[in-house]
Amino acid sequence: MKNFAVIGCGFWSHFQVAAWHELEGVKLVAVCDKDISKAKALATKFGNPTVYTQAEEMFRNEKLDFVDIISSVNTHCELVLLASKYKIDAICQKPMAENQADALKMLRAAKEASIRFFIHENFRWQAPLRELKNLLDTQIIGKAFKANLRFCCSFPVFDNQPILRELEQFIIADLGVHILDLVRFYFGEVNTLYAKTMRINPTIKGEDVANVFMEMESGLHCYAEMSYASILENERFPQTFVLVEAEKGSMYLGLDGEIRITTKNGTTVKTVTPMMYSWLDPAYAVAHSSAVDTNRNILQGLNGGNCETTAEDNIKTLNLVFASYESAKTGQVQRMKDYP
């Protein structure tokens, strides 16, 4: 049995902890949040683990096997350094860090302490997005040369996550990190990228529209579109739509998990829906459900097996975030080999 603690008891923690409870071999023994009412609310819901408001006190008092850090991004570096100090394996919510210097500091600390360090990156574990990867791997449409990933809607994301209003860097850091991770998941590493951003919503600090154009190392052209300002006929937060064009056909993951595969022989259709756990918020179904598969894969990593979303891998995704902001700021194409 692995004993774990959660730091950060806001909106997502309720679903991530529920997702842990779907798995065997883990036990929540402590929760920590600077806001004691949030920590108590989470504890009451999940078997009354010990409540803390100070992370260091929790690390000192508890016998932990790992910690799941679900707090906001500006706390990640300090908390991963603390986990390293107490030699406790760590999982950190995306985005891993606010800047590259912090991300590298976190990686170094975890390495020096010989702790395992993972990122809770869940989009690649969403059932329809995962199935699309499986279908692409069958080579039924052959070698891909062009792709479009689209996450555009007007969902009032700030209602449940008010902190997002305050971020100077919003949509690429918070959502784009998922979309750019999908780009790597499907098509490998990026060679160059060019990005543009906009703020449409005047009540938030950061950008709420971003477009990133990438040339992959394979030569594939990939266009990622993100917006929380788009009022559309068919909006489906938090679904990502993906179109892949390849030498022998195309695949389109569209509304509600529908995957359309087109070749010269015509189009076949399959629909993939998420597991509808009783605890998930239907407005976030595909994302909340994927937390179970994300945690399962991380648990495998904690037990010494393979895990896809290690911090070491995730820094390559994070570099795409930093490069996108740099490109948007300078108007220059970024070469990813300049982001070690």
Binding site residues, ligand 89Y, CB under 6 A: 157, 161, 174-175, 238, 287
- Least Å from the CB of residue 151 to ligand 89Y: 8
Nearer to ligand 89Y, 128 or 238 (CB): 238
In this structure, what token pair is assigned to residue 140? 């039924």
* Closer CB to ligand 89Y, 104 or 283, in the complex: 283
Non-local (6+) Cβ contacts of 278 within 8 A are none
Place of tokens 């969403």: 126
- CB closer to ligand 89Y out of 82 and 242: 242
Helices (H), the chain: 11-20, 36-45, 55-61, 76-85, 100-112, 127-137, 157-160, 171, 177-187, 285-302, 311-330
Residue 244 CB, shortest distance to ligand 89Y, in Å, is: 22
Q: Least distance in Å: CB of 157 to ligand 89Y?
A: 5
DSSP 6-58: EE--SHHHHHHHHHHTTSSSEEEEEEE-SSHHHHHHHHHHTT-PEEES-HHHH
Least separation, in Å, of the C-beta of 12 and ligand 89Y? 7
- Which C-beta is closer to ligand 89Y: that of 33 or that of 62? 33
Residue number closest to ligand 89Y, CB atom? 175
The least distance separating ligand 89Y from the CB of residue 18, rounded to whole angstroms, comes to 16
Q: 81 vs 229, which CB is nearer to ligand 89Y?
A: 229
Long-range contacts of 197-203 (CB under 8 A, 24+ apart): 197/171, 197/172, 197/324, 197/325, 197/328, 198/229, 200/227, 200/229, 201/228, 201/229, 203/165
Complex with ligand 89Y: residue 204 or 287, whichever CB lies closer:
287
CB of 233 to ligand 89Y, least distance (A): 21
Q: Which is nearer to ligand 89Y, 175 or 220 (CB)?
A: 175
Find the shortest distance in angstroms from Cβ 126 to ligand 89Y.
Answer: 10
Residue 335 vs residues 89, 103, 104: alpha-carbon distances, Å: 33, 19, 19
